[in-house]
């Protein structure tokens, strides 16, 4: 009996350590999935609600907003910064228009200026934290209930 408890404790310790090592990967994957979901919903998901993006002026186009080539959505990546931190973003060298679409602003040319509405697709929200927490809790349940 003692041996079984000891073995189980060792297994739990080992699996918790593995989970800790995997946490940055888990956080990055969940954040990228949530940011990509904003493209599918054509708005920012925050507090369980969708703040729809401003529609495009050109009405004849049926495609989703910010989804002409899907290059912007597919450019969202993460990198592990430390054991407890990840950075999620878009390489602006590859997709230079990402920031203006996310934050909005004015594009100036020699002869005109265009006001680009903000269509936030990459904003850390409590929803992302809750999703990460749910995934971690699921892993913890598996560890303790197996």
Q: What is the pLDDT of residue 46?
A: 93
Alpha-carbon distance of 128 to 120, in angstroms, equals 14
Q: Range of 21's domain?
A: 2-145
pLDDT band at 2 (very low <50, low <70, confident <90, very high): low
pLDDT band at 17 (very low <50, low <70, confident <90, very high): very high
85: enclosing H helix or E strand? strand 85-90
Q: In the predicted model, what is the mean pLDDT of residues 125-140?
A: 94
Q: In the predicted model, what is the mean pLDDT of residues 120-135?
A: 94
Question: How many domains is the chain built from?
Answer: 1
Alpha-carbon distance of 40 to 43, in angstroms, equals 8
49: pLDDT strictly greater than 70: yes
Q: What is the pLDDT of residue 93?
A: 94
Q: What is the pLDDT of residue 56?
A: 86
Q: Which tens digits make up the pLDDT trace of 52-86?
A: 999 988 776 778 899 889 999 999 999 999 998 99
What is this structure's pTM? Answer: 0.87
Alpha-carbon distance of 136 to 144, in angstroms, equals 12
- Please give the mean pLDDT across all residues of the chain: 93
Q: What is the pLDDT of residue 81?
A: 96
Asked if 104 contacts 110 with a C-beta cutoff of 8 angstroms, the reply is no
Indicate the DSSP class of residue 91: -
Alpha-carbon distance of 25 to 31, in angstroms, equals 10
Q: What is the pLDDT of residue 1?
A: 55
Alpha-carbon distance of 14 to 6, in angstroms, equals 12
| Nearby residues of 127 by Cβ (< 8 Å), 6 or more positions away | 34, 45, 46, 47, 48
Q: Which tens digits make up the pLDDT trace of 97-109?
A: 999 999 999 999 8
């Amino acid at each position: 009996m003692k041996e079984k408890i000891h073995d189980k404790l060792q297994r739990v310790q080992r699996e918790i350590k593995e989970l800790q090592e995997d946490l940055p990967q888990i956080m990055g994957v969940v954040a990228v999935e949530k940011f990509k979901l904003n493209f599918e919903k054509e708005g920012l998901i925050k507090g369980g609600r969708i703040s729809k993006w401003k529609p495009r002026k050109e009405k004849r186009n049926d495609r989703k907003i910010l989804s002409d080539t899907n290059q912007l959505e597919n450019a969202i990546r993460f990198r592990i910064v430390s054991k407890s931190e990840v950075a999620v973003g878009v390489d602006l060298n590859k997709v230079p228009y990402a920031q203006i679409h996310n934050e909005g602003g004015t594009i100036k040319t020699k002869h005109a200026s265009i006001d680009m509405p903000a269509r936030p697709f990459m904003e850390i929200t409590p929803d992302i934290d809750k999703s990460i927490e749910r995934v971690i809790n699921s892993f913890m349940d598996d560890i303790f209930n197996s």
